[in-house]
Structure 1
Amino acid sequence: MPEPKSAFDATYPCDFYEPAELFEPDQMYTVPEIGRLLQGLEPDAEVDPDTEAVLVDWAVPWVMVHSEDMVVAEPLREDGPGYYGLATEGDSDAESDAESEPDADGDEAGADESA
C-alpha cells in the first residue's frame, strides 16, 4: 500500500554505484555477489535466504542498466551461475571475435551486407 512521503522522517537520493566503483577490474561476480556489493557487503558475506532474494531483486536490473560497462562469462560448471565483471580494454578482443564469427547463415556477424 502506498504511503505519503510525510509518513517518513527523511528521504534520500536513490544513488547506485557505477560498475567501475563496485568491481575489482580483474574479478568476475555472480548476481548474488553483486547484490551484496551494492549493499556495501563483501561478496561472500553470509545473508539469510530472504535477504539474498531481495539483494538479487536489486542486482538484476542494475546489471541490465549497466550492461554496456560490463562483460559476462559462461558458468564455470554446467549447473553453475554466470559471472559478470567490469569491461576493460583487454576485453575488446572477445567482442571483436564475436563480431567476426559466422552466424546461422554462414555470414560474418557485423559484416556489411552491401559490400
Structure 2
Amino acid sequence: MPRPKSDFEQLHPCDFYTPEELLDADRMYTVYEIARLLQELDPDAELEAGTEDILLDWAIPWVMNNAEDLVVAEPTAEDEPGYYGLKTDEER
C-alpha cells in the first residue's frame, strides 16, 4: 500500500553512480559485486542472504539501465553468475 510522503522523516535524491564512476575499466564484476559497490561496500563483503537479495533489487535495474555502457562475459562455471564490465572505446 502506498504511503504518504509525510510518513517519512527524510527524503533523499534517487542518484545512482554512472558505470564510469562505479567500475574499474580493467575489471569484470558479478551482479552481486555491483550490488555491493552501489552501496559503497567492498565487492567481497559478506552479507546475509536477505540483505543480498535487497541489494540485487537495486543492482539488476542498474545493470539493465546502463547496458549500453557495459560488456558481458560468460560465467566461469554453470552454477556461477556472468560478469559485467565497463565498455571501453575499443569495444564500442
State the TM-score bracket (shorter-chain normalisation).
over 0.9
- SS for the counterpart of 2:29 is coil
TM-score after normalising by structure 2 = 0.94
- SS for the counterpart of 1:36 is helix
Deviation at 1:90, TM superposition (A): 2.9
Which structure 2 residue ranges, 5 or more long, are not aligned? none
- Deviation digits for residues 80-114 of structure 1 (CA, Å, limit 9, x no counterpart): 2100010002324xxxxxxxxxxxxxxxxxxxxxx
* 1:1-115 matches, cutoff 5 A: 1-92=1-92
Equivalent-residue separation in structure 1 for 2:81 and 2:58 (angstroms) = 17
- SS for the counterpart of 2:36 is helix
- SS for the counterpart of 2:85 is strand
- SS for the counterpart of 1:21 is helix
Which structure 1 residue ranges, 5 or more long, are not aligned? 93-115
- How many corresponding residue pairs? 92
The structure with the larger Rg is 1
- SS for the counterpart of 2:71 is strand
Deviation at 1:8, TM superposition (A): 1.2
